[in-house]
Amino acid sequence: MTTTQLSVAGAALPRTTVARERTATALALLLLLAGCTTIKRCSYEGFGRDESQKPEEVVETLDIEPGDQVADLGSGSGYFTFRLADAVGSSGKVYAVEVDESMNEYLAGLVKERGAENVQIVLASPDDPRLPEESIDLLFTSNTFHHIEDRPAYFRRVKRVLAPGGRVAIIDYREDAGWFVSLFGHGTSPDVIEREMKEAGYEVVARPDILEEQTFLVFAPRDGGTEDG
């Protein structure tokens, strides 16, 4: 990688990143003409995201069993939803949990197109994933943790939807992951994630060290799953 650095919003950026951001900005401007859902979808999916996001490796790391019930909290345009659906197989289920109706409509189209009968779309409220009680083997959430308000209270409530032995996997950008993340607050430091999840009654059960720009932590309830723990 080149050592030449530029500075944007106080952050030093390698030339490759600058070029990527310029391309992204130009494309975003073009997409303004194409409609809101398209813009959101492109901003979630990014340009060349797979390289840093390593979605297949992420899913493999999660030890998902065929037949599992998984929730993709903040499913957006379904970047992880269908990969999770492949992992649970036809005997399992993925709940795509999202507060944005327009993204749910977009995802519903993809579900139909792909015939993904094991994906169920859920319109959540900001403080409630609206999932069946004691049903979820894995609640997975990517780049969404920073959107949630009062996270200790939210994840305390999440405990009641976890099945016995259920886990919560959180991926979010680190605050130092780049100027976009710093500028718009689209990230959470690992310390904050751990502190808030501890406050909500969870302990870390895995720290998959496979992502360069994001924190990836897996939690389980300390008390086996009650909301009060």
Ligand X SMILES: C[S@@+](CC[C@H](N)C(=O)[O-])C[C@H]1O[C@@H](n2cnc3c(N)ncnc32)[C@H](O)[C@@H]1O
Binding pattern for the stretch 37-66 against ligand X, x by CB under 6 A and - elsewhere: -------x----------------------
Minimum Å gap between C-beta 6 and ligand X is 26
| Dihedral sign from CA coordinates of 146, 152, 153, 158 | positive
Closest CB to ligand X among residues 15, 130: 130
Does 180 contact ligand X by CB under 6 A? no
Minimum Å gap between C-beta 13 and ligand X is 21
Amino acid in the structure at residue 69: Q
Closest CB to ligand X among residues 68, 72: 72
Closest CA to 1 of 12, 25, 153, 9: 12
Cα separation of the two ends of the chain: 47
Contact call for residues 170 and 215 (beta carbons, < 8 A): yes
Give residues 62-121 in contact with ligand X (rule: CB under 6 A): 73-76, 79-80, 97-100, 103
Applying CB under 6 A, among 20, 83, 147, 157 the residue interacting with ligand X is: 147
Q: Which residues contact 39 (CB under 8 A, 6 or more apart)?
A: 28, 31, 32
Does 188 contact ligand X by CB under 6 A? no
